[in-house]
Amino acid sequence: MSRAGDDYEEGAKRHSGWLVPAAVFLMTAALSALVLLYYLAPAPTSFIEEHPAPTSRADPVTLTVGSLKFTIPANYLIYRTTRQGGERKEVALFAALPDFRGYSQWEAHSFTDNTQDSPLIYMLIREEPVNLPEVERLKRIYSGYVANPKGEPGLFGLTQYAFRDDSGYRGEDLLVGHLDGLPVVMRCVRLSESVPSPSCLRDLRLAKHVGLSYRFKRAQLSRWREIATGVDKLIRSFEAQA
């Protein structure tokens, strides 16, 4: 064989000697990267906000928020991931007036209703490092932002305060009632062209570092006592089952 042929054969042997290990290394690196991506990459909900996905199933779901444990039927839970159970920073729920029933397929239209008189009550149980009782929230936070600290008689046995326009609560009213000797403090958005379907929001304390908020349409304000009592009874029933 000629010298040229010998050089070609020798070069081929040298190339084949490092090509195989290199290919194995690249394949191993690629597989390792895929495994790491599978286990360490965040779920899709880490990148985008999760959308509501209610179910009509009523399977009990056990959840823990802070120091409190709950067993909640799945048809009260708004998001699919929450129905996996376990420890949570927050749990979003909804129910419909007048009997605080959970979601069902034959009433699906009612649970997407955003009209002025929608019967829906939205609730959020959440971890809250600093959660003041309502009376303290009224004194320490809200009272400093109202136009008239004395307020004025409002509808449905409530005292109404208007938040100042230079406050972070502009466009809202503060409405305070009493139930069983305890305050019920609600912030209600005012009806306007830009807000044709306003809501009322109440924040309260369930336990140390665990808060509850719920909101409902301002058009349902005449039922504030019924709503306050119903929400309390519903949440406590979920605790009792746990």
| Residues 37-71: tens digit of each pLDDT | 333 333 434 335 799 999 999 999 999 999 999 99
pTM greater than 0.85 = no
* Domains of the chain by residue range: 1-41, 60-241
The CA distance from 126 to 64, in Å, is: 10
Question: Which pLDDT belongs to residue 242?
Answer: 79
* CA distances to 23, 35, 110 from 29, in Å: 10, 10, 53
Grade residue 241 by pLDDT with cuts at 50, 70 and 90: confident
Q: Are 228 and 184 in contact (CB under 8 A)?
A: yes
Query: First vs last Cα of the chain: how many Å apart?
Result: 87
Grade residue 14 by pLDDT with cuts at 50, 70 and 90: low
Report residue 81 as tokens: 């991931």
Asked if pLDDT for residue 194 goes beyond 60, the answer is yes
Is there a cis peptide before residue 21, judged by omega within 30 degrees of 0? no
Grade residue 130 by pLDDT with cuts at 50, 70 and 90: confident
Grade residue 78 by pLDDT with cuts at 50, 70 and 90: very high
59-79 core/surface letters (b: 16 or more CB in 10 A; e: else): eebebebbebebebbbbbbbb
User: Helix count (H) and strand count (E) of the chain?
Assistant: 3, 11
Report residue 201 as tokens: 């929001």
